[in-house]
Amino acid sequence: MEQSNTAFSEALVKSLKGERGHLPIKNALSDIDVALAGKRREELPYSIYQLVKHMTYWQDFLLLAAQDEKPVLPVHVRESWPEEECPGSEEEWKQTIQYFLQGIEQACTVAQNVQLDKPLESWPGETPGGVLRNIASHNSYHLGEIVLIRRLFSAWPPPTGGYPV
């Protein structure tokens, strides 16, 4: 891998994991229980569970795109949001988090093993690096919402600590 691709790859991996600008994503999610995952307030448009499911939907979609596959776009963005506000069980919630975090690891593997600036045939004008950057920024955006929701329910910081202290 050439030096500029290696530097970009390393920066992407840090962004995907949440090591730039905020705490690691896994630290913000790992201690959330099923009750907190499904909690709602009237002024909040969604629960933490719905956010994570939405993040997972687009992460899966974009991972396919980063590997030059052509996933089908939803007819409407609402298809990327689950109707259920909470998981059915603690086990389902743990599996949801585990699956989401595995997707982040998969994105990191892609970042470390592909030519990041090679144009994607299936997505004209896009590159694997650009798609992976999109995953990182989308996840980061919604992670901020998760942190805010946790604060509203007095469930912040996580045991690993949070920013700001």
Express each pLDDT in 118-157 by its tens digit. Answer: 999 999 999 999 999 999 999 999 999 999 999 999 999 9
| Matching residue, tokens 């030519």 | 115
Amino acid at 65: A
Condensed to tens digits (0 to 9), the pLDDT of residues 22-63 reads: 889 999 999 999 999 999 999 999 999 999 999 999 999 999
Task: Please give the domain boundaries of the chain with CATH numbers for all domains.
Answer: 3-152 (1.20.120.450)
Alpha-helical segments (H) within the chain = 3-17, 25-29, 34-37, 48-66, 90-113, 128-152
